[in-house]
Chain A
Amino acid sequence: MQITVKLFATFRQDRFKLAEQDYPEGTTIADVLDALAIAAPDVGMLFVNGRSAEPERRLASGAVLAIFPLVGGG
């Protein structure tokens, strides 16, 4: 199934900004993080289709997954 993965801040280094990627049915966010070699403790925010999500979440075909490191401002 096709997943749109969007990376931000330091996660873009040596990776990409946005990519359409093919994953098997049943893939979780944690599986995508593994595939991208992003360590779980480095993750600050995960959004699936604009809503906050947990790493255990199974992705549906066509999902847009956004992955941020721990960042903030104000």
Chain B
Amino acid sequence: MDKILRVNMTDLTVKVEPVPADWAGLGGRALTSTIVAAEVPPTCHPLGPNNKLVFAPGLLSGTAASNANRFSCGSKSPLTGGIKECSAGGTSSGLIARLGYKAIIIEGKPAGDTWYTVVVHKDGATIKPETEVLRLGTFATVQHVNEHYGEDFGVITLGPAGENLMAIANISVKDPESKIRSFGRGGLGAVMGSKKVKMIVVNPEGGVALRLADPAKFKAANQAFTKTLLDHPVSGQGLKKYGTAVLVNVLNEAGGLPTKNFTSGQCAHHDAISGETMYENIVARGGEPSHNCSPSCQIQCSQIYNDKDGNYVTSGFEYETIWALGADGMVEDLDVIAEIDNVFDDIGVDSIETPVMLAVAMEAGLLPWGDGKRILELLRNDITHATPLGRMLGGGTGHVGRAFGMTRIPVVKNQAIPAYDPRPIKGIGVTYATTTMGADHTAGYAIATNILNVGGKVDPLSNDGQVELSRNLQIATAAIDSTGLCLFIAFPALDIPECLGGVIDLLNARYGINLTGDDVIALGKQVLKIEHAFNLAAGLGPETDRLPEFFELEAIEPHNVKWDMDQKELASFWNF
């Protein structure tokens, strides 16, 4: 991994460059955010020629390390106007790493109407005009690549939403079953679409095993690390069986399951949309409860969900998607939610931003609460074909809320708030308000310590200790996101010392270095500061580090609490 691949879409040229010394120790999020901060003017239009789209495998991607085959995609977000980093699984991260690329930078913007496919190979990339897969959904696009390029090729592509430059558009990545994993949040699909790149295909030919500085130490470290993943009840058992949807009933009991556009913390039909019900359906219908989203995953939180006749409906059926449609949007039938999830993947839209937007549209009266049939029509007709209504919806939650003159618009930095109400779970509120990403639970998952009793306990209903908790989690997360490791390794890492020790040993054995835990924390801090500086220069100042006002005005049941954290205390987040 000693090369940077630079693809210029203005003049359709490709360069393979050496890795600058400053970037040598970086990977994943640390690298995408560093490159975006160095090369993208913070005030540029996200869909203009000065924005760039950067893909970077993690520091451990492409090796035999467990759960390390994720990669990051970074850019300036058309949704938030700030820096963005998303993480996704799939097969491409390892392939890119083994071709020797530390990062792929897509820059510029072509003048004409021609769309392109970028074929990445061991000697660089080829930019080809693309007509055959235009307007196709992501599943058909992946199928096309399997048939015309090869089943072992990686695919990074857009659905119709990305082609139409919608702020809800994601970037889709082929997974081991030729299904879809996503760089979900922040509208990165619109950035790729603005550069007229329909897909990036990765030719694995000529990929080589990555050189390990100390192969024996690496193997031992991976065994010790993997053991902690399998020993911890959350990563070793719970996620395998129930997936992330096990959280539906947990959050409902805790009174933090945002329901009917954030007007209640509990949902009457919670059990019908729970992980327990999902598991029963999967087993009864011949699906698969456990499934990996990328090679080398040991946690297997994904699953294959079939309909009543045993036919495939969706995979990677996540808590946040189920919550947003089922509780926030009141769709009571898990089978309908599964069908919508599959359409989200196919047309290439974020399965958090889109359903949270739909719940706002329901409150506005655009469609009835819980009307899955109407949701499918809006997705398949209006958003897919970019009708004026589809474009309005495609602008995301904030856009729709403003269009209807609403005040209950659950966004931070214009990005939809996910599946945990910040009023009864204060720690996650700090993360939503302060993260550089706009509302994002994964940026500092305070649910672990506020609700799940992982990594200790901090009372979710009290403001005490939440800023420090969120800060520590955000720093650690920024470091994990740079390794290519799945964030779910944080569950064992918070409880079992050998887990983080194993990660550090893996990095040291891979690169022949002597990192310590302090170095990893320093890396996390450095990433956050780079991102924060970009946001400040882009116009996202301290006044945007806050939750929407309705959380301060409206108490939520069952705990009857409002958001009441002092803004000065929130601002102290950045004191590090």
Mark A residues whose CB is within 8 Å of B.
6, 8-10, 12, 17, 44-45, 47, 50-52, 66, 68-74
Q: Tell me the minimal C-beta distance from B17 to chain A in angstroms.
A: 36
- Contact A71 B253, beta carbon cutoff 8 Å: no
Task: For B239, give its contact among A8, A50, A72 (CB under 8 Å).
Answer: A72
Given A45-B250, A45-B451, are A8 and B276 also a contact pair (CB < 8 Å)? yes
A50 x B301 contact (CB < 8 A): no
Q: Name 26 A/B residue pairs within 8 A (Cβ), A-sorted.
A: A8-B246, A9-B238, A9-B276, A10-B241, A17-B271, A44-B452, A45-B453, A47-B253, A47-B254, A50-B255, A50-B558, A50-B559, A52-B453, A52-B460, A66-B253, A70-B238, A71-B242, A71-B246, A72-B238, A72-B452, A72-B488, A72-B491, A73-B245, A74-B319, A74-B441, A74-B487
A45-B453, A71-B452, A72-B491 known; A8 vs B250 contact (CB < 8 Å): yes
Task: Report whether over half of chain A's contact residues are helix, strand or loop; otherwise say mixed.
Answer: mixed
Additional A-B contacts beyond A50-B254, A74-B319 (13; CB < 8 A) = A12-B276, A45-B250, A45-B253, A45-B452, A50-B255, A50-B559, A69-B238, A72-B239, A72-B454, A72-B488, A73-B238, A73-B243, A73-B319
Interface residue B34 (Cβ < 8 Å from any Cβ of A): no
Contact with A along B435-448 (1 / 0, CB 8 A): 00000011001011
Residue B457 is within 8 A (CB to CB) of chain A in the complex: yes
A69 lies within 8 A of B233 (CB)? yes
Of the listed residues B249, B255, B319, the one surrounded by the most CB atoms of chain A closer than 10 A to its CB is: B249
* Chain B interface residues (CB < 8 Å from chain A): 233-234, 238-239, 241-247, 249-250, 253-255, 266, 271, 275-276, 301, 319, 441-442, 445, 447-448, 451-454, 457, 459-461, 487-488, 491, 558-559
Rounded to whole angstroms, the CA-CA distance of A44 and B237 in the bound complex is 13
Most buried by B among A10, A69, A72: A72
Inter-subunit contact B452/A9 (CB<8 Å): no
Closest to B461 in A: A51
10 tightest Cβ-Cβ pairs between the two chains A and B: A73-B244, A70-B233, A71-B238, A72-B234, A66-B253, A73-B247, A50-B255, A71-B246, A47-B253, A72-B452
Q: Is the CB of B254 within 8 A of A9?
A: no
Whether B442 contacts A74 by the Cβ 8 Å rule is yes
Q: How far is the CA of A8 from the CA of B488 in the complex (A)?
A: 21
By the criterion CB–CB under 8 Å, are A52 and B442 in contact?
no
Q: Which residues of B contact A66 (CB under 8 A)?
A: 253
Q: How far is the CA of A72 from the CA of B461 in the complex (A)?
A: 19
The residue in chain B whose Cβ has the minimal distance to the Cβ of A70 is: B233
- Answer whether A72 and B276 are a contact pair too, CB < 8 Å, given A8-B250, A9-B238, A50-B559: no
Interface centre among A8, A10, A71, A73 (most CB of B within 10 A): A73
Contact partners of B239 in chain A: CB under 8 A: 71-73
CA distance A74 to B452 in the complex (A): 11
A6 closest partner in B (C-beta): B253
A44 — which chain B residues lie within 8 A by C-beta?
233, 452-453
A21 to B374, CA, bound (A): 43
Give the CA-CA distance A24 to B172 in the complex, in Å: 57
A74–B321 Cα distance when bound, in Å, is: 11
Q: Point out the residues of chain A lying under 8 angstroms from B451, CB to CB.
A: 45, 52
Closest to B491 in A: A72
Closest residue to B319 on the A side, CB-wise? A73
Q: B445 to chain A: which residues have CB within 8 Å?
A: 74
Across-interface contacts of B233 in A (CB, < 8 A) = 44, 69-71
Contact B250 A71 (CB under 8 A): yes
Chain B residues positioned under 8 Å from A68 (CB to CB): 249-250, 253
Q: Which residues of the other chain, A, contact B301 by a CB distance below 8 angstroms?
A: 73
Of chain B, the residue at the smallest CB distance from A43 is B453
Q: Which chain A positions have C-beta within 8 A of B452? A: 44-45, 70-72
Please name all residues of chain B whose beta carbon is closer than 8 Å to the beta carbon of A70 when the two chains form the complex. 233-234, 238, 452-454
CB distance from B452 to the nearest CB of A (A): 5
Please determine whether B447 and A74 come into contact, CB atoms closer than 8 angstroms: yes
Verify A9–B275 contact, CB threshold 8 A: yes
What distance in Å separates the Cβ of A42 from its nearest Cβ neighbour in chain B?
8
Q: How far, in whole Å, are A74 and B241 apart by their CA atoms in the complex?
A: 15
Q: How far is the CA of A70 from the CA of B197 in the complex (A)?
A: 44
Q: Is the CB of A71 within 8 A of B459?
A: no
Q: How many Å lie between the Cα of A10 and that of B247 in the bound state?
A: 14
Most buried by B among A66, A69, A71, A74: A74
